[in-house]
Amino acid sequence: MSQASYEDDAVALWAGARLDELLDGQGNPPKYGIREWHQLPNGDPRKAAAMIMAAEMWRRYGDEESLLTWFRDATRNRDSLASRRTITELDALAKAQPPHPVRATDGWPPVAIPGRPGWYRHLVDGQQVDRQRAGVAA
């Protein structure tokens, strides 16, 4: 069942009313499909109640194996809190880092210099040289 409450679910209300009628205070029936369920007489209302309960559980939660897989995953051991980064470490990682200096590289074209439109950094004889590209409007 999704986030709707039990009272808003007409199918759940119907199933609950049928179970109350069938069981009439007899307690829970044996689980649907097990040996004790098979041994009940066909006219026994507990047999029908067990089927309604099984159908309702399937409707709400899906198949049993998927539900058990979800429970196993939800309850598996996680990394210990001591092995996780602290809030101080996370805050330090989130702080803005200083920008890397623009460097031209041998074999690559010149690099545009941020904040200086039309200027490019070149690598000339192993030196970083800034030059303005001709014909660029400022």
- Interval 4-58: pLDDT, tens: 555 678 898 999 999 999 998 888 899 999 999 999 999 999 999 999 999 988 8
Q: What are phi and psi of 96, to 5 degrees?
A: -65, 135
The C-alpha atoms of residue 1 and residue 50 are separated, in whole angstroms, by 19
Task: Tell me the two tokens of residue 67.
Answer: 């539900």
Average pLDDT (69-81) is: 84
Average pLDDT (107-129) is: 92
- The amino acid at residue 78 is R
> Helix or strand or coil: residue 127?
strand
Residue 1 has pLDDT above 70, yes or no: no
Give the pLDDT score at 6: 58
Give the pLDDT score at 9: 85
Confidence class of residue 128 from pLDDT cuts 50, 70 and 90?
very high
Give the pLDDT score at 109: 93
Average pLDDT of the chain to the nearest whole number: 87
Residue 3 has pLDDT above 70, yes or no: no
Residue 2 has pLDDT above 80, yes or no: no
Threshold 0.85, pTM exceeds: no
The C-alpha atoms of residue 96 and residue 31 are separated, in whole angstroms, by 60
Residue 100 has pLDDT above 90, yes or no: no
